[in-house]
Every structure is written in structure tokens, then in C-alpha cells.
């Protein structure tokens, strides 16, 4: 089914040009650039020209920076409208308290990106033991988010990387069904 197919896409988080080159050589489905590189327009342009799907993290950016990024992406999309671009709000703490995830931020992104071809999403890093870790992404999807980032682990008790905000497989399946 289409949902399962989308879950099988591979994206690369890049940190500069070397990891961009690695992602290109691996032929990943999409590239993600973190908020700390949101003003690195040469890197964004290089990723844009190399990927059909680009995720740009905007969590923690001021509205002025998001607007500048939107304007730059719109300029790039005029030259190549086929690249899918998604702005993603969210910050990662270990885990991020639910108060650190703001529906107001998503509302602001919706206003800023209205009339553009930029999709919106959220990166949720809420403690999976908190019911809000299920509620928040569902509310965001209802508001217009088309991308939800969740960390995944096979066993939280093993305390692997990002375990503090990672869903186990059964929790992830439940979220998919609810979305």
C-alpha cells in the first residue's frame, strides 16, 4: 500500500558538502538540512539541484530568517518546480517537553508559506510515554502538516541514540493508523 511505500523512503541528514556528496552517491530519496544551515544558501542550492525532495528544518529560526529562506526557495523553485520542499518545525532536546512544541509555530509557518508550493511538517521529539506524543502530530496533520518526523527504535530500554524521544515499532504503527 502507498503508506508502507512512503515509509520505505530513505533520507539523509546532511552536515555540509561532504555529507551532501555522500547522500548523492548513495542515491537517497531525499535530503534534510538542519536549521543551523538555513542561511547557507550555497549548500541549499547544491542540495536543491541534486535532490527531488528537500526537507529544511526551521525549528528555532526567527520569522525573518524563515521568510528569507522561503523567498530563496521560491526563487529556486521558479527554475526547477519539480523539487518537493518541506519546511519542518521542531527542536530536539532529550526528550523535548511538550511545551517545547508549539502549534503557534505551525500556524506562523502556514501563514508564511501560504500561496507557495512549500509543504510543512513537524519534527516531534516528545517523550513516547506521554500521550501528547500521539496527539501533537495528529493535531498538526489536521492543521496542514504533510510531514511528521518521529524517531524510531526497536527497544527503548537499550537506550540507543535518541531513545528518549524514539517510538518503538508498536507505538509507531499506532500513530500511522491514527494519522
- pLDDT, tens digit, 9 for 90 and up, residues 71-104: 999 999 999 999 999 999 998 787 888 888 889 9
Nearest 5°: phi and psi at 87? Answer: -90, 130
User: Which pLDDT score, from 0 to 100, does residue 6 have?
Assistant: 56
- Give residue 3's pLDDT: 53
Distances (CA, A) of 53 to 93, 132, 174: 26, 29, 26
**Per-residue model confidence (pLDDT) at position 99:** 82
Residue with cell 517537553: 97
pLDDT score recorded for residue 66: 97
Q: How many CB atoms lie within 10 A of CB 75?
A: 11
Is 80 exceeded by the pLDDT of residue 34?
yes
162: left (phi over 0), alpha (psi -120 to 50) or beta: left
Q: pLDDT class for 7, splitting at 50, 70, 90?
A: low
Q: Can you give the pLDDT at residue 135?
A: 94
pLDDT at 162: 83
Structure letter (DSSP) for residue 114: T
Amino acid at each position: 500500500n502507498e503508506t508502507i511505500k512512503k515509509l520505505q523512503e530513505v533520507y539523509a541528514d546532511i552536515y555540509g558538502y561532504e555529507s551532501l556528496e555522500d547522500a548523492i552517491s548513495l542515491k537517497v530519496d531525499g535530503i534534510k538540512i538542519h536549521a543551523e544551515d538555513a542561511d547557507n544558501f550555497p549548500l541549499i542550492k547544491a542540495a536543491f539541484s541534486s535532490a527531488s525532495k528537500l526537507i529544511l528544518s526551521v525549528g528555532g529560526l526567527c520569522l525573518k530568517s524563515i521568510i528569507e529562506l522561503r523567498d530563496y526557495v521560491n526563487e529556486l523553485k521558479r527554475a526547477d518546480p519539480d523539487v518537493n520542499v518541506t519546511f519542518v518545525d521542531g527542536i530536539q532536546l532529550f526528550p523535548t517537553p511538550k511545551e517545547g512544541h508549539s502549534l503557534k509555530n505551525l500556524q506562523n509557518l502556514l501563514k508564511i508559506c501560504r500561496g507557495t508550493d512549500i509543504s510543512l511538517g513537524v519534527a516531534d521529539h516528545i517523550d513516547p510515554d506521554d500521550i501528547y506524543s500521539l496527539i501533537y502530530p495528529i493535531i498538526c496533520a489536521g492543521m496542514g502538516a504533510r510531514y511528521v518526523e518521529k524517531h524510531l527504535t526497536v527497544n527503548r530500554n537499550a537506550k540507543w541514540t535518541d531513545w528518549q524521544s524514539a517510538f518503538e515499532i508498536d507505538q509507531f504503527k499506532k500513530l500511522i493508523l491514527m494519522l
